Chain A
Amino acid sequence: AQSVAQPEDQVNVAEGNPLTVKCTYSVSGNPYLFWYVQYPNRGLQFLLKYITGDNLVKGSYGFEAEFNKSQTSFHLKKPSALVSDSALYFCAVTLSDETYKYIFGTGTRLKVLA
């Protein structure tokens, strides 16, 4: 069965420190991978995606993610966390441009401490 795992329910990091939010996936074929962020009482907002090409992708608000095919991972990173980055983060995967079937992870709550 295809799945996406976000192993940490919550990540705490001090402001100014680097942050990592982990995501691993299990799908057949070549995945399209995404990160979305959800602020309180809001819908989800797109951060970045990996379709093909360079394994390091850059996105909104200074976030980046590294696609690692051998480890089937797509971890979200930021060199220096801000308090305003505190939110709920979701990893998601779809299998190709021929289907709109998506699988989301369970979400990781990021708390950046001042």
Chain B
Amino acid sequence: EAQVTQNPRYLITVTGKKLTVTCSQNMNHEYMSWYRQDPGLGLRQIYYSMNVEVTDKGDVPEGYKVSRKEKRNFPLILESPSPNQTSLYFCASSDRPAYEQYFGPGTRLTVT
């Protein structure tokens, strides 16, 4: 089954404790992206990747890091999480920008 998986699905952590949210897709897509969803703000793009070792900033990259060492994986790293990073995070992938994005199920992160 074609899918994008994210782990963990739920995470409660404390300020400053480094964490990684994993994202993996099994569709051999070149393009992958991370978004955060906040009430009243919709989805905002954090980082995206157009191929292995090629990443670029979206609209809200501050406080986040990404890497793309393999085509299927695109982890999101929060090196020192803060409460304003409490949000619902989605990973997505597609064959090309003009094609539909496939979204993961989301990761709900709470930083206290």
Binding site for B on A (CB under 8 A): 6, 32, 34, 36, 42-46, 49, 51, 90, 92, 94, 96-107
Complex contacts, A102 vs chain B, CB 8 Å: 33, 45, 48, 58, 101
A/B interface sample: 25 pairs, CB < 8 A:
A32-B98, A34-B101, A36-B101, A42-B106, A43-B90, A43-B104, A43-B106, A44-B90, A44-B103, A46-B100, A46-B102, A49-B98, A94-B98, A96-B97, A98-B97, A99-B97, A100-B31, A100-B94, A101-B45, A101-B58, A102-B33, A102-B58, A103-B59, A104-B44, A106-B40
Q: How many residues in B have their beta carbons less than 8 Å from beta carbons of A?
A: 29
B96 at the interface (CB under 8 A from A): yes
- Min CB–CB distance B37 → chain A (angstroms): 8
Complex contacts, B12 vs chain A, CB 8 Å: none
Let me know if B48 and A101 touch, CB within 8 A.
yes
Complex contacts, A44 vs chain B, CB 8 Å: 43, 90, 92, 101, 103
Bound-complex Cα distance A101 to B56 (A): 9
| Chain B residue with the shortest CB-CB distance to A1 | B59
- Min CB–CB distance A63 → chain B (angstroms): 14
Complex contacts, A42 vs chain B, CB 8 Å: 105-106
- Min CB–CB distance A32 → chain B (angstroms): 5
Let me know if A34 and B33 touch, CB within 8 A.
no
11 additional contacts, CB 8 Å, given A43-B104, A97-B98, A102-B48? A34-B100, A43-B4, A43-B90, A44-B101, A99-B50, A100-B50, A100-B56, A102-B33, A103-B59, A104-B42, A104-B45
Instruction: Mark interface residues in B33-49 (1 if CB within 8 Å of A CB, else 0).
Output: 10100001111110011
Instruction: Mark interface residues in B1-40 (1 if CB within 8 Å of A CB, else 0).
Output: 0001000000000000000000000000001010100001
Bound-complex Cα distance A40 to B30 (A): 28
